[in-house]
Amino acid sequence: MRILGVIPARFASTRFPGKPLIDIDGKSMIQRVYEQALKAEKLDEVVVATDDERILMHVREFGGRALLTADTHQSGTDRCAEVAQKLPGFDIIINIQGDEPFINPKQIDLLCSCFAEAETALATLVKKINFEEELYNPNSPKVVLNKNSEAIYFSRATIPFVRGKEASDWLQSNIFYKHIGIYGYRIDTLLSITQLPVSLLEKTEALEQLRWIENGYRIKVAITDIETAAVDTPEDLKKVLKER
């Protein structure tokens, strides 16, 4: 089983234009993500998939591998599908977020391990929520799991609803999980899900993984205890650097 790590990276960003190339203590964000991904033991290769020549050339300058992809993709999943077609010979693709400069390689390996089960077609990670600010934050999607460690639903709302309890007591009376935005796909499944039309639930919550669930796909979930920190805004960058 050969596994390819793909780091989608685009220059245009509404909240933080050009963020893959921002400097973080002497290295660009995309270089830091790339170098962390290289440390994952279960990845056979790593490649940056970008729609911008500046990012492409920068990655190649620091010795990384990069592919130029279309600028019409709506998601990292779509970009990964193009890579799958351009780089045959892999069984699994791991979609690694390009805005997590200090991602822990153990998280990548944990996700890869989900595919040891032959029936796993899609996989992702979740982490137990420990703080109320996460529990009620719509920018941190929540996930409900079944007994087979598969995702039943993702929502920006706080799920499940705890009946008969004050909201301030929910965290102490139930286990909640937040989604960690790293995905794994078997190649045939990846190519199939990117052909599906945008679904009603996906439109409603602005979460692409709901399209897969709505179309009957099962998403295997592994639970990590490692925190991640995405850089979506300049303020996020300041926070990440302060916490290091």
pLDDT digits 0-9 by tens, 49-86: 999 999 999 999 999 999 999 988 989 999 999 999 99
In a domain, 69, yes or no: yes
What's the distance, CA 133 to chain centroid? Answer: 21
Distance CA 200, CA 225 (A): 32
In a domain, 242, yes or no: no
In a domain, 237, yes or no: no
pLDDT of 244 above 70: no
- Return the SS3 of 61: helix
Q: Where residue 229 falls among pLDDT bands split at 50, 70, 90? A: confident
* pLDDT tens sequence across 136-145: 999 899 999 9
In a domain, 176, yes or no: yes
Task: Evaluate whether 123 touches 186 at the Cβ level (below 8 Å).
Answer: no
220: left (phi over 0), alpha (psi -120 to 50) or beta: beta
Task: Evaluate whether 98 touches 28 at the Cβ level (below 8 Å).
Answer: no
Report how many domains make up the chain.
1
Residue 43 belongs to what domain range? Answer: 3-230
State the average pLDDT over residues 95-122. Answer: 96
In a domain, 74, yes or no: yes
Distance CA 130, CA 54 (A): 39
Q: What pLDDT score was predicted for residue 234?
A: 77
* pLDDT tens sequence across 179-206: 999 999 999 999 999 999 999 999 999 9
In a domain, 240, yes or no: no
In a domain, 211, yes or no: yes
Backbone angles phi, psi at 65, to 5 degrees: -100, 135
Q: Where residue 110 falls among pLDDT bands split at 50, 70, 90? A: very high
In a domain, 244, yes or no: no
The CATH number for 109's domain is 3.90.550.10
pLDDT of 243 above 70: no
Task: Return all residues near 240 (Cβ < 8 A) that are at least 6 apart.
Answer: 101, 102, 229, 231
Q: What pLDDT score was predicted for residue 198?
A: 95
